[in-house]
Structure 1
Amino acid sequence: MGKLRLGLIVNPIAGMGGRVALKGTDGVVEEAIRRGARPIAQDLARLFLHELAHYEESKDIEFLTGPGPLGEDVLKDFNFPFEVIRHRDIGYLEILGVRIPDTSGEDTKMLAREMAERADLIVFAGGDGTARDVFSAVGRKVPILGVPTGVKMFSGVFASSPEDAARLVVEFLRGNAELVERDVMDLDEDAFRRDEVRPRHYGKALTPYAELLLQGAKEPSKTDEAEDVEAIIEALADELEDGIYFLGAGSTVKRLKDRLDIDGTLLGVDVVEIKDGKARLLVKDATEKDLLRFVERNPRIVVTVIGGLNFLFGRGNQQFSAEVLRRVPKENIIVIATPSKVKDGFVRVYTGDREVDEKLRGYIRVRVGPWRERIVKVI
């Protein structure tokens, strides 16, 4: 391809709500900070750039980016040539002692519109809301690619990790990545926090694709597998030993919570104690800090696979942070899923910590029937 002009937009507050159980950040930044959240998007954007800088082809990349926290600040840490589109002066807010940029989706849209006239590819660091803003501004005029820094990331335009986003850019530069149509989706975050799933499809964006580097889009559970799920839950509930359990998000695990007769969340993580065969809810909709309070009690984790995305950890359940997973043995992780969710033969994890991700990689048992397991590769 020769020279590649790459647009880079960073949503500096994306993902702040994840570890503190807010399931998103739109409109709740102050509450996220009150719960102890800190900005993470720029750090993940740096991981993308750090990986990209390792490739010889990176010398053929020049960036267009936004001012200050919208991209300029992270690019200053590297040797890439870049031009800043100064669409306005960016101010800062101080909320409960935490300094955050005063930005909005309008900044993303304005930058994306200008980049669409000059860039070969627009890379954005954010979540589904950022994907929606970029797509609304550029449509199919230019391909887009997401560096996953948000909470949900159910759209199909995201790479599997910041590092995979860099590898995908290199494959695009080499001419090895075809352009495909991928769904742009977002959920009503207020409804999501009330355990209501209200997805909306915004269209199909053009996105570079190379095998295993780009994630799929969220898929609904298959209605014809409901009986399979019930059978798995019945068998598992009868087998659970006394102890502490971190029960993850999703409709499959919610059925276990209902079977245990606890008032658990559909889309959050709950801490449960089983004693003498009886379940008691200790923490509903737990944050990362809540989970860390119980890690010394040898907890077991029960999670499912997000259909279409193939993720165990790293999408929609960031309460299971690297710090939490570092302190829970891999053999204490119980995975339940219907056969369709593991039909590809692999599942993904991404915590942002290479040591923890390596600990989880290899193979894991997935309960796919009341008395049937499947060995699935973790990548």
Structure 2
Amino acid sequence: MRVGLIINPIAGMGGKVALKGTDGVVEEAIERGARPIAADVVRLFLHELRNCAEVRDVEFLTGPDGLGEEVLAEFDFPHEVIRHRDVRYREVLGVRIPDTNGDDTKELVRRMLGRVELIVFAGGDGTARDVFSVAGREVPLLGIPTGVKMYSGVFAYSPEDAARVLVEFLRGNANLGERDVRDIDEDAYRHDEVKARTYGRALVPVVEALIQGSKERVPLDEEDELDAIAEAVIEEILENDGVYFLGSGSTIKRIKDGLGVNGTLLGVDVVEVRNGEARLLVKDAAEKDLLRFAGENARIVVTVIGGLGFLFGRGNQQFSAEVLRRISKENIIVVATPSKLRNGLVRVYTGDREVDEKLRGYIRVRVSPWMERMVKVV
């Protein structure tokens, strides 16, 4: 069996530095301290595959240099490199990155069609859109989650889960299902506007416990309930002095507005509460800002991303493993309506097994003004 592997080498760089994406802003991301992460994520995927007997019969087709070749060369998987062009590198403030873009992804997909039975790609929603724009429904797709948002339903929950899906696909245990390919306007997103669009439905090898759903909106009949929950959480925050990291999304924006701070809709804000008054310390904070204030008394307020089921690991990479390592699980306040907890569990993925293990088990989730539920974290 032949499997395509394409890496978007700049995917995910904007997450920790609060850029909410990397398209068109890679230089700014590097100026803020970002470093490439996609290759490391794919290494986790390949490490997980390495011990599976079924993979010995797989040959990968991949792109040149940072588009796949460099990482695959570190492993003993048979692979063929599609050299569609000479890839040059450039250096930005000491960071070396390949000079590639979405056109490279599309051209590699074109050259893989008819030659592979599955295309695995590492990136975010923009990469998924590029792959799907060429592949359509000719070949199944599987995303290794490497980007910032990943609202499409073509991604595994983690790189290790992507490897497990591939193994089940090789065993004939993964049925092909239709999943949305979604993307948003990143520039509008950086200005607290969500302009999302569904570009089609891709064929995906589905293993239900390993493939995420698509991002969902809060049902209209829960809007009033959310307002009541927000009021209860605001009262609790104002009664407990300290530093709060308020996460992203409309649910937490209600809390920010109620506290009287001019916070972001889609970013993380640092707020200090003293004597019943809230003060904005950092608006749209990056990982480095959170690390300045992280400590024993810092608290996090987050919600669950509807459809994806994530607390940490989708759309809020500012809450990195290093930040979460410094904050106790008891100081994480989770707010969610019942519709976001349909599966009875929530997910975390920081890429650091020790931190993920610390967060697993059960966590309290505020589901109404008067009630909390103990929800399993996986």
Interval containing the TM-score (normalised by the shorter chain): over 0.9
Q: 2:319 and 2:371 mapped to 1: Cα distance?
A: 26
Match of residue 309 from structure 2: 310
CA drift at 1:174: 0.4
Runs of 4+ in 1 over 4 A off after TM superposition: none
The counterpart of 2:45, out of the listed 44, 48, 51, is 48
TM-score normalised by L of structure 2: 0.99
The counterpart of 2:84, out of the listed 69, 87, 93, is 87
Match of residue 54 from structure 2: 57
Match of residue 372 from structure 2: 373
2:94 pairs with 1:71: no
Q: 2:59 and 2:353 mapped to 1: Cα distance?
A: 28
Q: 2:311 and 2:98 mapped to 1: Cα distance?
A: 31
Q: 2:310 and 2:377 mapped to 1: Cα distance?
A: 9
The counterpart of 2:214, out of the listed 213, 217, 240, is 217
Q: 1:292 and 1:130 mapped to 2: Cα distance?
A: 30
- What CA deviation, in whole Å up to 9, does each residue of 1:243-265 have, x standing for no partner? 00000000000000000000000
Query: Between the two proteins, what is the percent identity of the paired residues?
Result: 72
Greater shift after overlay, 257-266 or 236-245? 236-245
CA drift at 1:366: 0.6
- What CA deviation, in whole Å up to 9, does each residue of 1:300-352 have, x standing for no partner? 00000000000000000000000000111001000000110011101110000
Given that 1:270 and 1:286 are in contact with CA atoms closer than 8 Å, whether structure 2 keeps it comes out as yes
Counterpart amino acid of residue 94 in structure 1: E
Given that 2:362 and 2:374 are in contact with CA atoms closer than 8 Å, whether structure 1 keeps it comes out as yes
- What CA deviation, in whole Å up to 9, does each residue of 1:95-128 have, x standing for no partner? 1221111000000000011112200000000000
2:320 pairs with 1:321: yes
Q: 1:117 and 1:220 mapped to 2: Cα distance?
A: 37
Match of residue 206 from structure 1: 203
Unaligned runs of at least 5 residues, structure 2: none
TM-score normalised by L of structure 1: 0.98
Q: 1:355 and 1:247 mapped to 2: Cα distance?
A: 24
Match of residue 292 from structure 1: 291
Counterpart amino acid of residue 202 in structure 1: Y
- What CA deviation, in whole Å up to 9, does each residue of 1:53-100 have, x standing for no partner? 121111111100000000000000100000000000000111122111
2:275 pairs with 1:273: no
Match of residue 349 from structure 2: 350
2:223 pairs with 1:229: no
Match of residue 20 from structure 1: 17
Match of residue 159 from structure 1: 156
2:362 pairs with 1:363: yes
Q: 1:340 and 1:333 mapped to 2: Cα distance?
A: 20
Match of residue 191 from structure 1: 188
Q: 1:152 and 1:122 mapped to 2: Cα distance?
A: 20
CA drift at 1:297: 5.4
Given that 2:248 and 2:266 are in contact with CA atoms closer than 8 Å, whether structure 1 keeps it comes out as yes
Unaligned runs of at least 5 residues, structure 1: none
- What CA deviation, in whole Å up to 9, does each residue of 1:139-161 have, x standing for no partner? 00000000000000000000000
SS in 2 for 1:296: coil
CA drift at 1:296: 2.8
Q: 2:291 and 2:258 mapped to 1: Cα distance?
A: 26
Q: 1:297 and 1:101 mapped to 2: Cα distance?
A: 41
Q: 2:297 and 2:231 mapped to 1: Cα distance?
A: 24
Counterpart amino acid of residue 89 in structure 1: D
Given that 1:244 and 1:297 are in contact with CA atoms closer than 8 Å, whether structure 2 keeps it comes out as no
CA drift at 1:298: 2.0
